[in-house]
Amino acid sequence: MPDRRPENRLLRVAVPVPLPRLFDYLPADDGGHVQVGSRVRVPFGSRELVGVVVELPAIADVDTASLKPALEILDDQPLFAGELFDSLQWLGRYTHAPIGEIFATALPGPLRRGEPLPDTHDWAWRMTAAGHAGLADMRPGRPRLLAERLQGGAVNEAYLGPDEADQDDATGAGAWRAAARTLAQRGLAERIAVPPSQAAPAPRQGPQLHAEQQLAVDAVLAARHHFAPFLLNGVTGSGKTEVYLHAIGDCLARGKQALVLVPEIGLTPQLLGRFRARLGVPVHALHSGLSDGERTRTWAACLRGEARVVVGTRSAVFLPLPDAGLIVIDEEHDGSFKQLDGIRYHARDFALVRARALDVPILLGSATPSLESLQNAVGGRYAHLRLTRRAGNARPPAVRVLDVRKRPLQAGLSPELLDAVAAALDADGQVLVFKNRRGYAPVLLCHDCGWSAQCRQCDAAMTVHAGGRRLQCHHCGARRPTPNACPDCGGLALQSQGAGTERIEEFLRERFPDVPVLRIDRGTTSRRDALETHLARFGDTRGILVGTQMLAKGHDLPNLTLVAVVGIDEGLFSADFRAPEKLAQLLIQVAGRAGRADRAGQVVLQTHHPEHPLLDSLLNGGYGAFASIELEQREAAVFPPFAHLAMFRAEAKQVELADAFLLLVRRALEDADRTLRAAAAPALELSGPLPAPMPRRAGYQRSQLLLSATARARLHRVLQQALPVIRASAEARRVRWSLDVDPVDL
């Protein structure tokens, strides 16, 4: 029988440092009770760090001479237990990242820094004895109205007001809180902590499911007790969200928690409002716009099982789910689920791992599924549910391709496109002009000598901004005023070439002076709430929206009748093998915004390449036709999902250092692969060191090395074997480097 008394156990701790190992500590002097998965404050060199206990080895088994004691046990109950603890260990092995950094990534900032798990109770107001006695003497007014209400019992702060029946009361919640504080100052009422309220508006009925929705819901419910992945493939407006709501409703009825992941831009107040109105339980939100405190409370509420439904962006995949019943990923193809720095995880893929470990169903929804998920559906690993038509009365939009070869363009817009805009406005509709390039113009060119404005720090052209007055680099943020004369030849023939959203906006304002024109891009709208505010203010009036892919999803625009897509031609000829998939998804998403309600929608797509095979398959066969052709090409070229990739990236002031490091990486991988060849799997393919797509950025020279393997296990075994050599090398210390498993931007 091993001795399990804490004083006979060491703490083996995952510390958030970039070293792939654990660190042992003697028990803290306070002898606090410690469990695996609890946070602990430890000395580390000259610093103090917060780590997570991952093992409690017997002291007798370890040489303790050089060990220091831990400083403080921070949790009585582990923050990481059971499934989440195991899944994070898995993520550490999969990303080959240090487990201490994985745990740190999974926690909101305050918990990472060692703050205690916050209270998650609600606040309520109740009368004091003095209040009950003094009510009769109170003057009329809001405090008295409130006091009368509190006579009947404590009231949750979220529902303060004269009484429930007074739904039309236009006074803000702030005024009622002020009244409550007035009562408190006079000693008539007090604020008390109460258990988190499950009180929420009574659930509202949704529309009757149509046949395809019913089939989808039935399939999910039939599998509700076990791990079962579903791909819910349905065009925009086909009613996928209704399917989620039914599956979540069933999950709640069984007393289980549901986690819903949505893309960064998809988490709108509209969506949350719809969930809140329909489910009849409080719905927690988790996204980057919240304060640290709010994020931490949501984390704690999940851990305690109080949060029943959470709708969150990428990092919500790390929430503890002690009573999990269902995971939903909306817009599963969306790029924002992949974390591009630090721990480079993919929230969709990690959610699948968690669903398997939790033994619950997982629903991946999209109008334009990723080729990875489609291939899983084709191969029978995911059940494939299809919603083929729009719900309700909405009709699919009519798509028209405008061939603009040899047509005169103004700010990049053809006469036919402008006619279509005018017609839509005449019919009182809203128009969206989509151009995926922000700024005034992408290039500043000298017409005399051919000079163009380049960033001094990056291998990239500067974008013209502020109506032509400023140059800005979209890669490092550098800015400078536009020169008056060409720096090379001194000529005055500097011209802004091409059109970004800013120039299109300027032109449309002149052309359609009697309607509002609103531009939405990262220049005008850096925050999510700003997007919401802009669009809400714009409302349903006739007018024109100009913007980048920020407008491709999010906030519903029921009055949008025309979507005009311009400037997609560069995307048709990109070197990135994923570019066609991304472009097709973007086109379908943005086109799907037209005609969501009862008004018919129209899409016009302006291009110099109307016969391009991508447009041809997309327009004639839809996304499904495009995707099956694209999958064939991926298979022929042995690209994902038919191969598994990993990327080493390195950057340094001198390209020789980056390349020397990657050459060392290459040799270490080749050595490892050779020793594993006995395993008889096909060998690894390596390409690089090669310059990164942008070889110089913010003053750093950047190179990369790509690994490709047809067997995932092979890839991981080679990495596992080679990484200790790579990490220990002198070359590694002279560069900034990273490893990205399943990279999305090559």
Structure tokens at 90: 């898995």
CB 605, min distance to ligand ADP, A? 21
User: CB 211: neighbour CB atoms within 10 A?
Assistant: 8
Nearest to 538 by CA among 435, 432, 437, 436: 432
Complex with Zn ion: residue 458 or 705, whichever CB lies closer: 458
Binding site for Zn ion (CB under 5 A): 446, 448-449, 451, 455, 457-458, 473, 475-476, 478, 486, 488-489, 491
569 touches, from Zn ion, ligand ADP, none (C-beta below 5 to 8 Å by class) = none
Interface with ligand ADP (CB under 6 A), residue from 141, 201, 207, 539: 207
239 touches, from ligand ADP, Zn ion, none (C-beta below 5 to 8 Å by class) = ligand ADP
486 annotated to bind ligand:
yes
Query: C-alpha angle with apex 215: 209 to 216, nearest 5 degrees?
Result: 90
CB 492, min distance to Zn ion, A? 9
CB 445, min distance to Zn ion, A? 9
Complex with ligand ADP: residue 207 or 467, whichever CB lies closer: 207
* 209 part of the interface to ligand ADP, by CB under 6 A: yes
Interface with ligand ADP (CB under 6 A), residue from 105, 241, 496, 617: 241
Query: What's the rounded Cα separation, in Å, for the pair 410 and 418?
Result: 9
What does 627-650 look like in DSSP terms, one character per residue? HHHHHHHHHHHT-TTSSEEEEEEE
Complex with ligand ADP: residue 474 or 596, whichever CB lies closer: 596
User: CB 319: neighbour CB atoms within 10 A?
Assistant: 24
Asked if 118 and 75 count as a contact pair (C-beta separation under 8 A), the reply is no
* 210 part of the interface to ligand ADP, by CB under 6 A: yes
* 273 part of the interface to ligand ADP, by CB under 6 A: no
392 touches, from ligand ADP, Zn ion, none (C-beta below 5 to 8 Å by class) = ligand ADP
Q: Cα dist. 103→98, 109, 293, 438, 576 in Å?
A: 9, 12, 19, 37, 33
Complex with Zn ion: residue 206 or 693, whichever CB lies closer: 693
Binding-residue pattern over the window 299 to 318 for ligand ADP, x denoting contact by CB under 6 A: --------------------
- Go through 478-496 and write b for each residue having 16 or more CB atoms within 10 A of its CB, e for each that does not: beeebeeebeeeeeeebeb
Binding to ligand ADP, residues 390-429 (CB under 6 A): 391-392
476 annotated to bind ligand:
yes
Asked if 44 and 23 count as a contact pair (C-beta separation under 8 A), the reply is yes
**Three-class secondary structure of residue 501 per DSSP:** helix
489 annotated to bind ligand:
yes
- Reported as type and span, the H/E element at residue 739 is strand 736-741
CB 574, min distance to Zn ion, A? 20
Complex with Zn ion: residue 187 or 491, whichever CB lies closer: 491
Residue type, position 319, single letter = L
Complex with ligand ADP: residue 240 or 717, whichever CB lies closer: 240
Query: What's the rounded Cα separation, in Å, for the pair 371 and 631?
Result: 7
Complex with ligand ADP: residue 338 or 390, whichever CB lies closer: 390
Region of residue 392 (left: phi > 0; alpha: psi -120 to 50; beta: else): left
User: CB 514: neighbour CB atoms within 10 A?
Assistant: 7
455 touches, from ligand ADP, Zn ion, none (C-beta below 5 to 8 Å by class) = Zn ion
Interface with ligand ADP (CB under 6 A), residue from 95, 236, 482, 525: 236
Query: What's the rounded Cα separation, in Å, for the pair 69 and 78?
Result: 20
* 601 part of the interface to ligand ADP, by CB under 6 A: no
Nearest to 678 by CA among 648, 721, 708, 639: 721
* 363 part of the interface to ligand ADP, by CB under 6 A: no
* 240 part of the interface to ligand ADP, by CB under 6 A: yes
Name the burial class of residue 193, with classes exposed (0-12), middle (13-18) and buried (19+) by CB atoms within 10 angstroms of its CB.
exposed
449 touches, from Zn ion, ligand ADP, none (C-beta below 5 to 8 Å by class) = Zn ion
Structure tokens at 93: 């092995």
Complex with ligand ADP: residue 120 or 238, whichever CB lies closer: 238
251 annotated to bind ligand:
no
236 touches, from Zn ion, ligand ADP, none (C-beta below 5 to 8 Å by class) = ligand ADP
CA 171 to mean position of chain CA atoms = 36
Complex with Zn ion: residue 471 or 604, whichever CB lies closer: 471
Complex with ligand ADP: residue 209 or 515, whichever CB lies closer: 209
What does 167-190 look like in DSSP terms, one character per residue? TT--S-HHHHHHHHHHHHHTTSEE
CB 484, min distance to Zn ion, A? 12
Cite the annotated binding site for Zn(2+) by residue number: 446, 449, 455, 458, 473, 476, 486, 489
Cite the annotated binding site by residue number: 446, 449, 455, 458, 473, 476, 486, 489
Contacts with ligand ADP by CB under 6 A lie at: 207-210, 213, 234, 236-242, 391-392
